[in-house]
């Protein structure tokens, strides 16, 4: 079993689900990356989210599990009420420590651990949301040599999160929801 050579991490909060539903059908089956989705949500909706995303994706979608190896072409969802960390050996770790930016899972926590594990072999995409989670993580990804992308705030249901990121973090590209799958396929396709 070979771990994913590239990693895409997508983070979102209020309004973040719609762009994910838009991009999933466009992802290529030959994607040479693991994809992690970190969404702020209530724990009672976790099984519904996996089913909803699976219905829109040709790639397998699953909730991330402790010590799971990141595989190319698989979409992992951060479990509700746990921080999701990526270890240097490209396995996953779940943590129930205090909330960061009022959130668990925290996008910043996942972005930072991904940057430490994957360095320049990753991209982070920040979507719609109502708090500042994700901005510090984008800075970490940029400093590690990864690619940073943000949803165009004009297309976000709640523009605070992407707008803060654009103002405070180095952002390589601003994307419309319809451009996100193409962006991912281009940087991580085969």
Instruction: Determine, yes or no, domain membership for 112.
Output: yes
pLDDT of 165 reads 97
Given the residues 40, 57, 83, 159, the one annotated as active site: 40
Structural domain contains residue 164:
yes
Q: Which of 45, 71, 44 is nearest to 53 (CA)?
A: 45
Q: Which domain holds residue 125?
A: 7-188
pLDDT of residue 190: 64
Q: 100 in a domain, yes or no?
A: yes
Active site residue 95: no
In a domain? residue 55: yes
Q: Judge whether 90 lies within some domain.
A: yes
Number of compact structural domains in the chain: 1
Domain assignment present for 149:
yes
User: 91 pLDDT band (50/70/90 cuts)?
Assistant: very high
Amino acid 101: pLDDT: 86
Chain segment 3-38, per-residue pLDDT in tens: 899 999 999 999 999 999 999 999 999 999 999 999
**What contacts 174, CB < 8 A, 6 or more positions away?**
149, 150, 151, 152, 162, 166
In a domain, 60, yes or no: yes
113, 128, 133, 140: the catalytic one is 133
CATH number at residue 59: 3.40.50.180
The pLDDT value recorded for residue 14 is 93
Contacts with 63 (C-beta within 8 Å, 6 or more apart), sequence order: 46, 50, 76, 77, 79
Active site residue 142: no
Question: Per-residue pLDDT tens for 149-178?
Answer: 999 999 999 999 999 999 999 999 999 999
Checking if the pLDDT of 42 tops 80, the result is no
What pLDDT shows up at residue 2? 75
In a domain, 24, yes or no: yes
pTM, to two decimals: 0.96
Residue 83 appears among annotated catalytic residues:
no
Contact of 26 with 186, CB cutoff 8 Å: no
Tokens of residue 129, six digits: 């949301």
Residue 185 is inside which H or E element, if any? helix 180-188
Handedness of CA 51, 157, 13, 115 (dihedral sign): positive
């Amino acid at each position: 079993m070979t771990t994913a050579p590239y990693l895409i991490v997508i983070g979102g909060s209020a309004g973040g689900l719609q762009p994910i539903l838009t991009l999933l059908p466009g992802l290529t089956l030959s994607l040479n990356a693991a994809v992690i989705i970190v969404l702020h949500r209530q724990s009672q909706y976790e099984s519904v989210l996996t089913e909803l995303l699976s219905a829109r994706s040709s790639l397998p979608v699953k909730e991330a599990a402790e010590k799971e190896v990141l595989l190319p072409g698989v979409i992992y969802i951060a479990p509700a009420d746990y921080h999701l960390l990526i270890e240097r050996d490209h396995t996953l770790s779940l943590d129930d420590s205090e909330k960061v930016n009022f959130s668990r899972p925290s996008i910043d926590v996942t972005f930072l651990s991904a940057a430490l594990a994957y360095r320049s072999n990753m991209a982070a995409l920040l979507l719609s949301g109502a708090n500042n989670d994700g901005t510090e993580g984008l800075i970490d990804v940029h400093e590690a040599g990864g690619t940073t992308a943000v949803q165009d705030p004009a297309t976000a249901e709640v523009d605070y999160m992407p707008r803060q990121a654009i103002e405070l973090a180095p952002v390589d590209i601003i994307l419309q929801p319809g451009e996100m799958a193409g962006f991912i396929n281009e940087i991580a396709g085969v």
